[in-house]
A = this chain, B = another copy of it.
Amino acid sequence: MAKKASDAGGGRAQAVHRALKRAILDQALSPGSKLPEDSIGERLGVSRTLVHQALVRLSEEGLVDLRPNRGATVARPTLEEGRNLFLTRMALERLVVETLSGKLKPEQIEALSAHIAAEEAARTAHATSIRLAGEFHTMLAQMTDNTSLIRYVDELVARSSLILALYGRPHSSECAVSEHRDLLDKLIAGKTEEAAALMAHHLDSITTRALLPKEDSMNIKDVLASYAAAEGLA
């Protein structure tokens, strides 16, 4: 008989890692949330050991802040980190585009096309929209067959989701879907430079569209600051 479904794809350690990662990216755990090892372990039915390992790994991936002896929290990347992250993404995804341009196989084109359709269908659901948009980029990376490239793009896309969740405007990812389709067209046609430019523009517009603090994500200090100013205080 097969192993338990929850173990799919590796040991339980990896399962815990995936579960937490998924929870963070789905914003079920919002940035800044505390992540106590034993309550997580209890909830997931594993020991603290495995949760600890998963948290360490997530902190290496930048999804979790881990301060020694003081516990883990869901990461709250700064705007500066966000901008740097998108710069790195751009460098890597340019390589993805260059690698793939004119070399996509029919079934790959099929899969990408289907995914874009799914993105269009999910345009209203904000959270899944972000997820699907990210998955498009990881799909592209996957097709390069370059393991380090795949890993890094995956990580950066995941962190990007976190950043978009933190700083993104409500409807910032809507326009991106058409850009995905345009990009795919250029890739199929083998127009490498145009595709690369499109990818650069795509990521740049995500950055500039999103990387401005949205109103309701301001912290208490910021909120009070404006009231204080209005009253001539502090």
State in angstroms the CA–CA spacing of A99 and B88 once bound together.
11
> Any chain B CB within 8 A of the CB of A182?
no
A interface residues, Cβ below 8 angstroms from B: 10-11, 13, 49, 53, 56-57, 60, 62, 68, 81, 84-85, 87-88, 90-92, 94-95, 99, 145-149, 152, 155-156, 159
In the bound complex, what is the Cα–Cα distance between A99 and B159 (angstroms)? Answer: 21
Q: How many copies does the complex hold?
A: 2
Residue of B nearest to A156 (CB): B148
Residues of B within 8 A of A85 (CB): 148
Q: How far is the CA of A94 from the CA of B91 in the complex (A)?
A: 8
Instruction: Please measure, in the bound complex, the distance between the C-alpha atom of A62 and the C-alpha atom of B53, giving whole angstroms.
Output: 18
Contact residue among B57, B62, B87, B95 (Cβ-Cβ distance under 8 Å from A88): B95
Please tell me if the beta carbons of B94 and A147 are within 8 angstroms of each other in the complex. Answer: no
User: Which residue of chain B is the closest to A93 with respect to CB atoms?
Assistant: B91
Q: Are B87 and A146 in contact (CB under 8 A)?
A: yes
Known A11-B68, A60-B60; contact A88-B146, beta-carbon cutoff 8 A: yes
Given contacts A81-B148, A87-B146, 7 further A-B contacts (CB under 8 A): A53-B53, A53-B56, A62-B148, A84-B145, A84-B149, A88-B92, A92-B92
Closest to A68 in B: B11
Cα-based distance from A2 to B143 in the complex (angstroms): 50
Say how far A16's CB is from chain B's closest CB, in angstroms. Answer: 12
Instruction: Give chain B nearest CB distance to A156 CB in angstroms.
Output: 7
Q: Are B84 and A147 in contact, with the CB atoms below 8 A? A: yes
CB<8 Å pairs between A and B, sample of 19 = A11-B68, A13-B56, A53-B53, A57-B60, A60-B60, A84-B146, A87-B95, A87-B146, A87-B149, A88-B92, A88-B148, A88-B149, A88-B152, A91-B91, A91-B92, A91-B94, A91-B95, A148-B156, A148-B159
